């Protein structure tokens, strides 16, 4: 059986993005229950020189929606816009990603297989094909940032566990 580019990306992008959204819902409720300032969560870092939770969530969007938009243009550059500064804004960013991902045209995405793709940042330039860009660059980044966001929430005390990270599994029906 052959698996399509769409099938290898979109379902898991949706699974994990929805899971991140649910984790932020739990974080928001936890902040209210524990009288914790949202900024303590949104700006949390594991170590001083890393980006905060807000950036991690923004990057989940960037390495799903941004990557797919980059495929259409044949070039991807990282989004350097400032991340939303509160949980509501971060949830909105993830909801926008879910809405986008639910409407990706399967044939259009599958039609990009083999198409040239380029990563550009400042003077840095890497050539890919659409699929090697997604599988070796954007998907690993997507999972890195989703995992880091989960780890930050967990480290702050938000009651999330492995099933919260996994979200709704794609079980056979």
pTM: 0.95
Distance CA 86, CA 54 (A): 8
Torsion of CA 84, 89, 94, 98, to 10 degrees: -130
CATH architecture of 13-166: Up-down Bundle (1.20)
Q: What is the pLDDT of residue 172?
A: 85
Range 105-123 average pLDDT: 96
7: Cβ–Cβ under 8 A, 6 or more apart, which residues? none
- pLDDT tens-digit series, residues 136-167: 999 999 999 999 999 999 999 999 999 999 99
Question: What mean pLDDT do residues 98-127 have?
Answer: 96
């Amino acid at each position: 059986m052959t698996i399509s580019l769409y099938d290898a990306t979109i379902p898991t992008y949706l699974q994990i993005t929805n899971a991140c959204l649910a984790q932020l819902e739990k974080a928001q409720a936890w902040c209210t229950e524990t009288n914790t300032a949202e900024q303590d969560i949104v700006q949390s870092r594991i170590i001083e020189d890393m980006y905060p939770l807000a950036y991690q969530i923004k990057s989940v969007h960037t390495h799903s929606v941004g990557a797919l938009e980059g495929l259409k243009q044949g070039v991807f550059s990282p989004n350097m816009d400032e991340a939303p500064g509160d949980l509501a804004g971060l949830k909105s960013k993830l909801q926008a990603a879910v809405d986008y991902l639910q409407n990706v045209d399967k044939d259009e995405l599958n039609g990009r297989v083999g198409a040239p793709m380029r990563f550009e940042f400042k003077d840095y330039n890497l050539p890919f094909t659409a699929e090697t860009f997604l599988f070796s660059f954007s998907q690993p980044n997507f999972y890195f940032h989703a995992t880091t966001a989960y780890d930050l929430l967990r480290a702050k005390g938000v009651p999330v566990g492995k099933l919260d990270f996994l979200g709704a599994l794609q079980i056979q029906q």
